[in-house]
Amino acid sequence: MSATTWGAMRRHRVLLTAAVLFVLVGAAGCGSKAVVVYKTVTASPQASSSTGGNATAESSPEDLRLVESGWALAYGYVEYGVVLRNPNTAFAAVFPTIDIEMLGKGGQLIAVTDQVLNMAMAGQTIAWGGQADPNGKKPAKVNFSLSVRESNWLSSDSPDYEPYEPFKISGVNVGKDSLGSVVVTGRIKNPSSDSFESVAVSAILKGASGRVVAGFTGYVDNLGAHASKSFQVSSLGQLPAFKSVDVYAERW
C-alpha cells in the first residue's frame, strides 16, 4: 500500500480541524506582530521503529501501550496530548485509535470521541495532539485508552507492510503569534528513499512537573525522499502554561 493511499484514507478524519487551523494561522499572519520565540527545545524524542522482523517470534500482538497523556480545558474544548508505543517486534498496528471519554463531577459520562491515527510500526513510538468537544460541559476527568481492530494488526512478514525510517526533527523553536496561539517551528528530515504526500507533526506540551498538559498537530506536505523541509504547526488558540515541548512526526 503506497504512502499516498495511506494519506488519502486517513486525512478526511481531520479535515475540519485542519481547516480551522488554517484560518487561525492565516489571521495571525495578517497582523503586524511577528511570531515571538520565547523558548528553544534542543532535543526531541526519537520515534524509533523496527523495519522488519520475524512474525513467528510473536504468535499474537501485544496491546499498544499508553506512554503518557494529559489535557487541559481551553475555550470550552479539551486540548490533549497522547504518546503511545507499539511494543511488538513483528506486528504493526494499522489505524490505531485513541479513545477519549470525558467525565463530569461524580463520574457521569458527558462526551465520547476518538482519533484514528495512520500506523504504529513495529517498535515505534508516536504521538498525537488534538482537541475534543465535551458537548458544552466542563469535564472533571478525561480518560484515554488505545484500541486496534484485530484485523488491523499487520505482520511484518506481510507484503502489505511498508515500514519507513523514522523522521528526524531538529531546530525546534516555540513561540506565540499575535493572537496568543502557540507556534512550533523546526525542520523535518526524511531519511527514507520513499517520498510522502503528507506527514503529521504533533507538538506535545509539558508542564514544570514533566506531565503532558496539552498538544496539537499540523502537517507537512510533499516531503521528498532524503529531503529536509521547514515546518510550522500552531495551536487552535491560547493554551495553559507549559515548560517544554516534545515534537513527533508520523506518516499520514
What's the CA gap between 32 and 28, in Å, rounded?
A: 9
Write down how long the chain is. Answer: 252
pTM higher than the cut 0.85:
no
pLDDT at residue number 51: 52
8 Å CB contact between 223 and 229: yes
What cell does 220 get? 507537512
* Domain coverage including residue 60: 3-251
Taking alpha carbons only, the member of 167, 88, 163, 156 closest to residue 127 is: 167
pLDDT at residue number 27: 33
Taking alpha carbons only, the member of 84, 99, 115 closest to residue 17 is: 115
What cell does 85 get? 508505543
In tens digits, what is the pLDDT along the chain, a chain of 252 residues?
544 444 444 443 333 333 333 333 333 333 323 333 333 343 456 566 655 544 445 789 999 999 999 999 999 999 999 999 999 999 999 999 999 999 999 999 999 999 999 999 999 999 999 999 999 999 999 999 999 999 999 998 999 898 999 999 999 999 999 889 999 999 999 999 999 999 999 999 999 999 999 999 999 999 999 999 999 999 998 999 999 999 999 999
Measured in degrees and rounded to the nearest 5, phi and psi for residue 13 equal -70, -20
Domain count, the chain: 1
CATH number of domain containing 17: 2.60.40.3230
